[in-house]
Structure 1
């Protein structure tokens, strides 16, 4: 049995442990604030070091090389640290909270992507008591100059996917990507490469490709917003929703109990004839793509278009997305079509990079006539 003394000792030990965990917590918090304060101090020194070309005195050709060798940063981290340090010069309120240890570097990094001197106070107010991950979500889809409560642009929201592969697979991937670049006549994006892989897996291949949409796209009848995915649906931008609905299978109203038959956007017989007429290739002049193909209504159905052969053509996924983003306009009656490119600084490029005219020059117009 425990005697009176051992009970007292146990109580004392518990009291010590109680004090210890509180002390441990505050020490860790103190170290975190010191670390952030040091990162803020480093940011100011980085600007000075770059402006005075410190790196050249040590034989380095760039500031990034100096940071990689002397400060042990990776290339991407070095460039991000320099970018943030430069941005903080114009954002004194964010810089002040960074120096005070109230904002960690990860949160500062995200805020400096979108905040301006006119909006930084509002962003700081909204970021108060948020984690770095919360701040990242808060600014996702916003561009520099937007207010914190602005409607996010879904085209600007990106997800990072990291793959670890063997040397052999990495080399095969490099060669496959080079082949895609050659087929498209330009450098394809990471998004394009993954989209092509997913299309292959989803069965959008074969002599006459099936409608490419093999995932569920749900569009609200009231607000017209569209979502994909299961569990936690992800919103997609209107241009992507319009592109997917061009060549899909519709299952009907999800709020109705009435059974409905699956109905393709374009009748299978018409799709087959269109693919044969267009030689199983994208009809855009100069495009050599023969895979990842969609069919598109030259005149949208909502604008009075129909399923006639003259109103439908074959497009690669890249040009199809460009069209729905408003950067490519197709008119005429297939197969005699006119293609017009309209550069727009507010719209992200999807996969094509036509030779844009600048300033007040008229848009480039090219015509494709197929016999």
Structure 2
């Protein structure tokens, strides 16, 4: 197990009103530990990137029974496919640039600077770019690279600036939102996020009604930063942080070429577990640092600038760590499960909207028993179906996540907005959705009524499109039934007992699977399925001769009650 860097007394944040809390001293102490944690976490990224590069070259997700890299990364590592690909790409380029690699290991350049440098540097220009990076902030280095026409490589890990869309509405309205989002996924043939679904909904609405001149309320302009902020950063102490990576993590990146795909999977999960322990410490310190605005004591005008310049961390990741940390004080089991690696980053974030003091143990147990896909479905169902003011508990095991029929009777002229629609998306997507809502909002009506009109219009338009009305596809929600698969396109009707072996066309012998899982998974021997549809099918993913499969599930429930094989101890 990777030891904690931060002393235990600092991992218990002091009382906000404590007179003994001195901002100047606290800022220096916490900044020092945060920089050490960020350096160690960046070193873990390199090891994960080294393993991920070999895994991607072999298309390891296919050998393990996953059709898509995103499905594998989300289920097994708790990461996005884009993040794993980015880590592998940056690490591969850094291995070809020895001067930059050594500077990174000595702590002279941060991970954020490395990500920028590897896009433009060649071995002949390493020293010059390192000298330039040593005297500039990340922001200035990014501007210098942009001047070379390489601005597309300077994006954040999260794909650009995201903003939060938030709209209060009556609780009954949440079901309509859920229905139309799911309809957008079926129309796209992909597992869209709420932000991606909102973009499709807004585009469909604006194709019917033109945008007006109304302005969305509460859109205050952000104040511009003073022009001399760069000088503040340059004057700040910038001593290198050469934090040593734990030996038990470093050895995981050795001899990767000789490992088989299953061993690569185990090592990547071990590195992720070590990173989560570091993230847990970082979240606790960041909560105090950001709540007390200690970045201002350090001379930074905003938290985002401190996070990127000082820690090489994106604001989005930091805010998520703080949100997770806040919830752990209400539900301590969530923090312990995340720290121990039994809950991945994706699973922990999925639980945030529903977990509370009374239901924490039930939700944590459920997260360890089911796939990420099923967990997300249950959380979404619980948010819509729960009674107001009641603790949000998970549905009974194996329950169908059906919603009661929406009321079609006359509604009162005024309804209490006792619920909320919240999601994050790129700023331009949120602006597009707001424009579409305003186009459907009548004068004097609240904004949620405009969104209701928009959703009802989109629902009528999309449901009127001709489609294949196969009852087998409809039974599985027009989605591949293989656990953890997000595919909604190229669906096949598979017979559990092959017709060539006497299988019948009865509905309990038929299941919806995507083309990859049908042809290259089941028929190629990487995936096995047997039992009775729809709820009693046993699945094995990552089948290998003479050994246990990687995963065994009944439906979306892990056989044995845990989310796959436990992460190796680190």
Specify the TM-score bucket, using the shorter chain as the normaliser: 0.3 to 0.5
Q: Say which structure is richer in helix.
A: 2
Higher relative contact order (CA 8 A, sep 6+): 2
User: Which structure would you say has the larger Rg?
Assistant: 1
TM-score by length of 2: 0.28
